Amino acid sequence: MQCPYCHSENTKVVDSRKVKNNTGIRRRRECPECNLRFTTYEFYESTPLLVIKKDGEREIFDKQKIIAGILRASYKCSVTLEVIDKLVTDVENELQNRFKEEVRTAEIGRLVMNYLKGLDEIAYIRFASVYRKFSDLQEFSEALEKLKKEKKYKKKK
């Protein structure tokens, strides 16, 4: 690493520490030529995840859109912003592990609903009603019945 002060190529690492969430490394370096210290950061370079929308258009994954949708769905529920942020981070990590380059919006919606189902039933059903675009009361009622059956099944275990 070149010294930013004297441009010497002969620098050494004095201290290394992990950066928040283990996403990189902070290195404290010293130049033996001018004896000055400086800090560098190393991060892995990731390719952006592209989202394929219903109309076929592609855009870069934006976690803020998911946060906004979950905030609307969890309005007046007991879900905190911290929990929502963790949920969205978990969704993003799973998407990047399963889909290296592109993912359809339908898959994102299914994944978010799976996480919400275990978190808050009201937020789940609100999110599902928008995501699935229920056309009538019958579809909404069927989704509620399915949720009730799953809840009873989990209690029996």
- Neighbour-count burial of 17, counting CB atoms closer than 10 A to its CB (0-12 exposed, 13-18 middle, 19+ buried): exposed
Q: What is the DSSP letter of 6?
A: T
Summarised one tens digit per residue, pLDDT across range 71-115 is 999 998 888 999 999 999 899 889 988 887 899 999 999 999 889
pLDDT value of position 5: 96
User: Averaged over 141-153, what is the pLDDT?
Assistant: 74
Tell me, yes or no, whether 80 and 125 share the same domain: yes
Q: Are residues 75 and 27 in the same domain?
A: no
119 plus 152 within the same structural domain: yes
Same-domain status, 79 and 16: no
User: What is the domain count for the chain?
Assistant: 2
Are 87 and 149 members of one domain? yes
Looking at the fold, whether 55 and 37 belong to one and the same domain comes out as no
Q: Where do we find the tokens 């009603």?
A: 129
Other beta carbons within 10 Å of 112: 21
Q: Are residues 95 and 120 in the same domain?
A: yes
- pLDDT recorded at residue 154: 62
Same domain (yes/no): 75, 148: yes
Which structural domain range is residue 19 located in?
12-43
Q: Quick one: 38 and 58 in the same domain?
A: no
Classify residue 3: in a domain, yes or no: no
66 found inside a domain: yes
- On whether residue 39 sits in a domain, the answer given is yes
Q: Are residues 65 and 135 in the same domain?
A: yes
Quick one: 34 and 54 in the same domain?
no
Do 71 and 128 reside in the same domain of the chain? yes
pLDDT of residue 52: 95
pTM for the model stands at 0.62
CB half-sphere exposure, 52, CA atoms < 13 A: 8
